Amino acid sequence: MTKSALQIERAKYQPKVPAALKGNVKAVDGEYTQSVADQEDIKKLFPHTYGMPIITFEKGKESKPAAAVNVGVILSGGQAPGGHNVIAGLFDGIKAINKDSRLYGFILGPGGLIDHKYKELTADIIDEYRNTGGFDMIGSGRTKLETEEQFNKGLEILKKLDIKALVIIGGDDSNTNACILAEYYKSIDAGVQVIGCPKTIDGDLKNEQIETSFGFDTACKVYSEVIGNIQRDCNSAQKYWHFIKLMGRSASHIALECALQTHPNICIISEEAEALELTLDDVVNQIAKTVALRAEDDRNFGTVLIPEGLIEFIPAMKRLMAELNDFLAKNDAEFRIIKRSEQRKYIISKLTKDNSELYASLPDGVARQLTLDRDPHGNVQVSLIETEKLLAEMVATRLAEWKMDCKFNGKFAAQVHFFGYEGRCAAPSNYDADYCYSLGYTASCLIAAGKTGYMSSVRNTTAPADKWIAGGIPITMMMNMEKRHGCIKPVIQKALVKLNGAPFKEFVANREAWALSTDYVYPGPIQYFGPTEVCDQPTITLKLEQKEK
C-alpha cells in the first residue's frame, strides 16, 4: 500500500488509552440491567444473556499468564472512521493476554463468516492500517446474521479455526445481530463468546454507558470543514443559497453537530419537525421566510442544513412511507411486473385515502423515489430521496408566488449538495483514533473476562484519556421491540436528538441570530499534530451532554 506523507507520520501515532487498560486488568461487576423497553418480551427472547451486570475494568494485581485465544473480527455495515484502530486495539489486547493469541478477520462483513472467507491478521498487516480510515483491511458488508442456518454455518469455521470469541464491529442493526448470535451460541453451549463494538457516523447508537458511536466525531469534522468552505464561498459571492443534505437517516445528530460547529442560517432538525407535527409546506415556509428576511438587507445568500431522514419525520410523510413499506413488503412481486408508466397509478389505487391523496400530490421524481428498492429492513432508502433538491425547488416556487404578491423583492438562486460518503472513510481524528483503539482493547478484556453478549464501552471521554472508564454493557440492555418487514422484532433502540437536551437547547438559543446574521464559522481541516486544544477535542455535542450531567 502506497502511503502519503501524512499516512507515514500518522502511522507513528500511539493512541491514548484509559489508565485501567495499562498492565493487568480486572473486571468488576456493577448493577444488573434490564432492557430499555419491552422487558418481558426481551427477557423471553434472550434468557441466557438478559439482565447481566454492567462491567467496569480496573487495574488488577499481577496474574499468571493466560492461555492463548483465537479471536475472529467482523466489520459490519457502512464504513466509519476508526474501524482499523478498533481492530488494532483488539489485536494488541489479545497479544497482551498471550503472545500466541491469533486474530482472524472475516472478509466483507458477516457474509465472510457464513461463506468461510477469512484471513489471519498478523502484526505486519495490523501495522499497515493503524490510524487509517476506511474498512479496507478486511472489507465490510451488510449481510444480516438472523437464521440458525447462518449461525451454524458460521460455527463450522469458528470451530475449524478454534476461535473462542467473535467481535462484531457495527451499528445498531449489526449489534442487534451480535446479541442474537451471542444468545444462540450460549443456548447451544457452542463455546464462542460474541462481543459488539458501537460504530456509526450517524451518532444514534448511544446511551448512558455508550457516550458516542465511533466515527461520529471524524465525520462531523469532515462535513463541517466542507460546510465552512461553502459558507466562505457563499459569503464571498453573495448570490447563492446552498441547500446541504447531511447523512443521518434515523436521527439528526450530524446536522445538529455541524450546525453547532459552523453556524448556518438554517438547520432543520427532524425530531423537532416531528414533535411539532410540521407539514412539508411548513418547512418550506420556514426556509422561505428566512430567505425573505435576509433579502431585506440585501443578503441574497445563505446556507441550509438538512438531515438525510427529514422526509420520514414529517408525520404525514411518515404515515405514507409506513404504509408503502408494508404494502410493498407484501406485494413486491406484483409491483415489479407493472409497467413503470403505470406504477404511480397502481400505488395511488392501493393506498388508504389520506395517503393516496398525499402520494398523488408529490412530484413524480419524489413519488418514484419512495417506491425504489428497499433497504435490508424493508424501509425506503431515504438517502435516494433528493430532499435538498425538493426543498430548494419548493422554496423557489413559494418565493415566486410571494413575488407576485409583492411579499418578496429579493433574488433567489440555489445550489444543492449531499455530503455522505465523503465522511465515512476519513483518517480518524485523534479523538476517534484514541476512542476506537480503546474500544478494541476493551473488547479483548471482555473476552479475557469470559463475557458474551456485551458491547465494549469507553466513557468519560471528554476528560484526558487516562481518566476514561473502560468496561462493557449487556447488549440486551439497549433492546426494544420494533416493526421490521411487517413483523415485530427485537432491535437496539435508536438514540434520537433529545429536544430537552443541552445540544439542542444550545442550537435553539442561537438559531434566530444565525438566521439573520452572517456569523459563519470556518472550522478548517482536521488537525492531527499540535496542541491538545486544537487536535484532541471531542464533538460539541458530547461536551454539552457531559456538562449537562
Tell me if 473 sits within 8 A of 54, measured CB to CB: yes
The residues, ordered by sequence, that sit 6+ positions from 265 with a Cβ below 8 Å of its Cβ are 290, 294, 302, 303, 304, 514, 515, 516, 518
DSSP bridge partners of 197:
169
Torsional sign, CA 524, 526, 527, 532? positive
Quick check: helix, strand or coil at residue 211?
A: coil
Secondary structure of 11-38 in HEC code, one letter for each residue: CCCCCCCCHHHCCCEEEEEEEECCCCCC
- Catalytic residue, from 92, 172, 173, 202: name it: 202
Tell me if 367 sits within 8 A of 413, measured CB to CB: no
Q: How far apart are the first and last CA of the chain?
A: 44
Separation of alpha carbons 102 and 444, rounded Å = 12
Half-sphere exposure of 265 (CA within 13 A, CB side): 29
Radius of gyration over every alpha carbon of the chain, rounded to an integer in angstroms: 24
How is 333-378 classified by DSSP, letter by letter?
HHHHTS-HHHHHHHHHHHS-HHHHHHHHHS-HHHHHHTTS-B-TTS
Name the nearest CA neighbour of 191 among 169, 149, 153, 159.
159
Q: Examine the residue annotation and report whether 41 is marked as an active-site residue of this protein.
A: no
> From its phi and psi, is residue 391 left (phi > 0), alpha (psi between -120 and 50) or beta?
alpha
Separation of alpha carbons 447 and 198, rounded Å = 16
Which of 133-148 are b and which e, b meaning 16 or more Cβ less than 10 Å from the residue's Cβ?
Answer: bbbebbbbbbbbbeee
Query: Which pairing describes strands 414-419 and 479-484: parallel, antiparallel, or unpaired?
Result: unpaired
Integer angstrom CA distances of residue 201 from 226, 249, 427, 526: 16, 11, 13, 16
Q: Which residues are catalytic?
A: 202
